[in-house]
C-alpha cells in the first residue's frame, strides 16, 4: 500500500496554499509534514482525505487516483486536533456510529469495540460522554475510531497539540504501537519538531506550500539543505553567523566549546535543563546559543570556539547548502 501525491496544487482566492507538491509514503512508513502555521501541511491532509479538492494534480492510494472518490469511500482513518467526537453520544456510541453506517452486524460491532476499548484502556469510560473525559481519554477515543475504520491510510492532524507535555509523552508509545509501524502509510501533520523526530520515519519540512527538504530526522539534522531547515530542525536552533564573502556559517549550539584561546563572550542569559544548560552569549560574532553540561561552572565572561568540522556552510543569498 502506497500513498502518492503528484504535482498537487491548491489555492483559496488569490492565495496559493500548495504549489506543485510531490510526496510518496510507502507501506508502513510514517512521514511527518512539519512546518510553521500556514505552510500548507493541514491543507495537504484535507486533500488526501477528500475534504477538499485540489486545483490540479493526482492523489493515488495504491496506484488508484482518488480525485473523484468521495471522502466517505476513501478508507482513510483521520485523527483530528479537535478530536471531533459527538458530544451527545457516549464513548461506545461514538465508536459504534461509523461501524453502523458501514453496515457492520451488531455482534461484530460489539466485539470490535470491546477489543478496542480494552487495548486503549477505556473500558471504564464506555458509557461516558466526551465532556466527562480528560483530554488524553478523548484523544484515545479519536484514535480508537480511526483504528476501527480499518483504513488504507492514516492521517493525523496535530493529534496531540491540545494535550500537555506529559500526556504527549505518554501517548507517543501508543501512537507508535497502534498506528505508526503498521502496514499502512501514515501522514502526521505537526508544528512540533520534537514530536516529528520522535515518531516519523521521514520528515518533510514545508515552507510556502512546498517541501523544502525531506529525509530521515538524522539526515535533516546532520545535513540541512537550507538555512530555513537548519534553524527549524534542532532545539535550540542553529546559530547562523553574519555572512562573510557570500557564505553564511551555521553552528549547532552543542558544538560550541569553552576555549581560553577562543572568541570573547559575555553570558547574558542561562536556562538550566537539568543534565545540560543553554547559554546565550554576546560575542564579537554576534549572539550565540551554546549547550553545555549542567555541571559546568560558567563565568560571566568566557571564551569559546568550535571545531571546523562542525561548520555548516550556506549560500548567503539563496540560503542553499554549499556541499
Tens digits of residue pLDDT in 27-39 = 889 999 999 888 9
Residues of the chain with pLDDT under 70: 81-83, 178, 180-181
Could you list the beta-strand ranges (E) of 27-114: 30-34, 56-61, 64-65, 76-79
Cβ atoms 183, 106 nearer than 8 A: no
Asked if CATH classification 2.40.50.140 holds for the domain at 245-315, the reply, yes or no, is yes
- pLDDT 10s digits, 197-242: 988 999 999 999 999 999 999 999 999 999 999 999 988 899 999 9
Q: In CATH, what number does 3-228 get?
A: 3.40.50.300
Q: Where are the alpha helices (DSSP H) in 52-131?
A: 91-101, 106-119
What integer pLDDT is reported at residue 83 of this predicted model?
Answer: 65
Secondary structure of residue 65 in the 3-state scheme: strand
282 DSSP β-pair partners:
266, 287
What integer pLDDT is reported at residue 109 of this predicted model?
Answer: 82
What integer pLDDT is reported at residue 98 of this predicted model?
Answer: 75
What integer pLDDT is reported at residue 181 of this predicted model?
Answer: 64
Ordered by start, the domain boundaries in the chain are 3-228, 245-315
pTM of the model as a whole: 0.86
Residue 149's alpha-carbon distances to 47, 153, 180, 264, 302, in angstroms, are 19, 10, 15, 60, 59
Amino acid at each position: 500500500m502506497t500513498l502518492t501525491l503528484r504535482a498537487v496544487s491548491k489555492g483559496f482566492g488569490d492565495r496559493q496554499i500548495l504549489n506543485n507538491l510531490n510526496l510518496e509514503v510507502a507501506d508502513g512508513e510514517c512521514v511527518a509534514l512539519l512546518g510553521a502555521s500556514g505552510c500548507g501541511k493541514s491543507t495537504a491532509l484535507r486533500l488526501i482525505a477528500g475534504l477538499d479538492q485540489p486545483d490540479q494534480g493526482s492523489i493515488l492510494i495504491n496506484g488508484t487516483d482518488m480525485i473523484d472518490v468521495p471522502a466517505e469511500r476513501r478508507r482513510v482513518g483521520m485523527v483530528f486536533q479537535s478530536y471531533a467526537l459527538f458530544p451527545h453520544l457516549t464513548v461506545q456510541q461514538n465508536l459504534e456510529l461509523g461501524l453502523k453506517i458501514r453496515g457492520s452486524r451488531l455482534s461484530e460491532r460489539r466485539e470490535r469495540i470491546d477489543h478496542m476499548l480494552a487495548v486503549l484502556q477505556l473500558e471504564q469510560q464506555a458509557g461516558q460522554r466526551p465532556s466527562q473525559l480528560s483530554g488524553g481519554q478523548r484523544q484515545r477515543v479519536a484514535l480508537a475510531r480511526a483504528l476501527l475504520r480499518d483504513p488504507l491510510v492514516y492521517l493525523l492532524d496535530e493529534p496531540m497539540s491540545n494535550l500537555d507535555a506529559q500526556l504527549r509523552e505518554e501517548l507517543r508509545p501508543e501512537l507508535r504501537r497502534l498506528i505508526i509501524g503498521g502496514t499502512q502509510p501514515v501522514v502526521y501533520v505537526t508544528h512540533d519538531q520534537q514530536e516529528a523526530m520522535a515518531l516519523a520515519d521521514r520528515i518533510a519540512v514545508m515552507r510556502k506550500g512546498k517541501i523544502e527538504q525531506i529525509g530521515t530526522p538524522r539526515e535533516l539534522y546532520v545535513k540541512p539543505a537550507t538555512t530555513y531547515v537548519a534553524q527549524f530542525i534542532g532545539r535550540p536552533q542553529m546559530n547562523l553567523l553574519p555572512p562573510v564573502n557570500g557564505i553564511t556559517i551555521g553552528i549547532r549550539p552543542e558544538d560550541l566549546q569553552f576555549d581560553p584561546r577562543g572568541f570573547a563572550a559575555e553570558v547574558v542569559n542561562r536556562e538550566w535543563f537539568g543534565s545540560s544548560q543553554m547559554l546565550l552569549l554576546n560575542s564579537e560574532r554576534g549572539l550565540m546559543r551554546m549547550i553545555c553540561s549542567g555541571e559546568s561552572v560558567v563565568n560571566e565572561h568566557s571564551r569559546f570556539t568550535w571545531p571546523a568540522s562542525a561548520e555548516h556552510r550556506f549560500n548567503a543569498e539563496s540560503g542553499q547548502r554549499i556541499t
